[in-house]
Amino acid sequence: MTNWFAIGMGSKNSKGDWLEVFYPKNLINPSEELTLKAKELVSYREGNFTSSIPSDLVQDIAKLSKNFSSLETERTVLVFVDSKLPPNDVPSCYLRLHLLSHRLVKPNEINLEDIFTLMPTVAWTSDGPKDPKELNDILSDKKINNEAIHIHSLDKFPCLTDYVVPEGVRIADSHRVRLGAYLGEGTTVMHEGFINFNAGTLGKSMVEGRISQGVIVGEGSDLGGSSSTMGTLSGGNETLISVGRDCLLGANSGLGIPLGDRCVVEAGLYITAGTKVEMIKSNSKVEEIKASELSYKDDLLFIRNSLTGAVQCKPNPKTVNLNEELHSNN
């Protein structure tokens, strides 16, 4: 599906500019009848489109979300999105992030071009989203009235679980998973795990490392403590890094090539596309190649020779098995 219709609610700064938007799941493509009515009322034709909610639509929305009709009009928004086109405003950016985290689209399946330019930096506080430029006045007012406010972060992307709570996952520290992350059912993210937007896991996985923007991890894989995957925003350029099924990235390891299934990278070993690798077969050196030539190949074990320091690769005889009870997440 490329076309999406959603109704959301959000907050603005004192100038009336959008800071963020929340889309209840039942108000994303709610029904064909409601969608057609909305298109007619706002004269929608095609592409990306953002509008205030027509008064004739409020009663229909209230049937799906009881509290929606009591919201101030300026806090609500109606959005149509063509996912093949780049986002054009803050509401369309946030809808795309919701689609990813609700598992309605997978990473790299939706256009996110210029999302960093469009999304404002927001002060995420215990009193709700605020414009950082207005923080000094807000802090002064709070202190004068002897009220507390905690500023969690200054960032363009909010915490995933403030907007979407995926079913069947465990997240030890939710501030380390951004809205727009895709978490497959059965995923466990430990305290040091991090998942960026437009990235994530396709099924049961253990995440104690970093899944960077654009990176997809296959079902059954384990990212060891402080392991790292190179995203398109951090040196990966146009190459989309991925981890296949039933793989293991050892603690403090790093990955800069797409891995196939059932591959293991030993602890502390960082592999980039240009890393020279000795291919080993029957305990003898066969040839020296660049790691990029091993992209997407299955059943490989990457190690470093403790005597020579050379990076070596040989067939992986073992399989990675995650604890079923640990990842049921009921």
8 Å CB contact between 288 and 279: yes
Question: Residue 327's pLDDT is what?
Answer: 58
* % the chain with pLDDT above 70: 95
Which residues does the annotation mark as catalytic?
Answer: 208
d(CA 87, CA 111): 7
Sorted by where each begins, the domain ranges of the chain are 3-120, 123-155, 160-315
Provide the 10 A C-beta neighbour count for residue 308.
9
pLDDT category, 182, cuts 50, 70, 90? very high
Question: Residue 330's pLDDT is what?
Answer: 65
Question: Residue 233's pLDDT is what?
Answer: 63
Give the right CATH number for 160-315 from 2.160.10.10, 1.20.210.10, 1.10.30.50, 2.40.33.10: 2.160.10.10
* % the chain with pLDDT above 90: 84
What are the tens digits of pLDDT across the range 34-79?
A: 999 999 999 999 999 999 999 899 888 988 887 776 777 889 999 9
Q: What is the DSSP string of 97-159?
A: HHHHHTTSS-TTSS--TTHHHHSPPEEEETTEEE-GGGHHHHHHHHHHTT----EEEEESS-B
Question: Residue 236's pLDDT is what?
Answer: 47
Same CATH topology for 3-120 and 160-315: the answer is no
What are the tens digits of pLDDT across the range 130-145?
A: 999 999 999 999 999 9
**At the topology level of CATH, where does 3-120 sit?**
Alpha-Beta Plaits (3.30.70)
Question: Residue 164's pLDDT is what?
Answer: 98
